[in-house]
Amino acid sequence: MRMRMSLLVGIFLLGSASVWAGGIGDRTDGCPKNLEKEALEVVSTDILDWAELHSAYSRYIPCDDGAIAEGFSDIVVRTLAYRWATLGKLGSIARKDPAFLRFVYRHIDATTDPPDLQRIRDNLKKPGCPRSSGKVCRGIELAVTQALEEM
């Protein structure tokens, strides 16, 4: 009986600790309302290049959830779909900030327009991937394939 009670108390405490610890890194803790409002405005505008996106990423990464995350996804996918010639710039930023490249891959997702994802796939074939961006292109191709499969 005593062992059973100890086990139940242990499970309760472990569960409570997990719930408590899970809240420490939640997005809402790191994203104050004023920053969240700014981020929503920024991801609703037309970010035109990778440098602008990197700047927004650097400032608003604590808010990367919900509508803000969907806005980032839309920007990433549209940039890859319609500004393919700028891929070299993404590569140069990613060499300095590898976490940004992971952010880009993460935002090639099933919340975006399938025709835009297909256009990225077409860009990978023709005009193709610049030689200097081979690793970046493989990551993009993997993310696009996964996003299309999830749809």
> Interior CA angle at 93 toward 50 and 74, to 5°?
30
100 and 135 belong to one structural domain: yes
* Lowest mean pLDDT across 19-28, 38-47, 49-58: 19-28
pLDDT tens column, 128-148: 998 889 999 999 999 999 999
91 and 133 belong to one structural domain: yes
8 and 79 belong to one structural domain: no
* Lowest mean pLDDT across 22-26, 71-75, 78-82, 116-120: 22-26
Domain extent, residue 127, equals 31-150
Q: What was the pLDDT predicted at 46?
A: 81
Q: How far apart are CA 12 and CA 6, in angstroms?
A: 10
Domain count, the chain: 2
75 and 97 belong to one structural domain: yes
18 and 35 belong to one structural domain: no
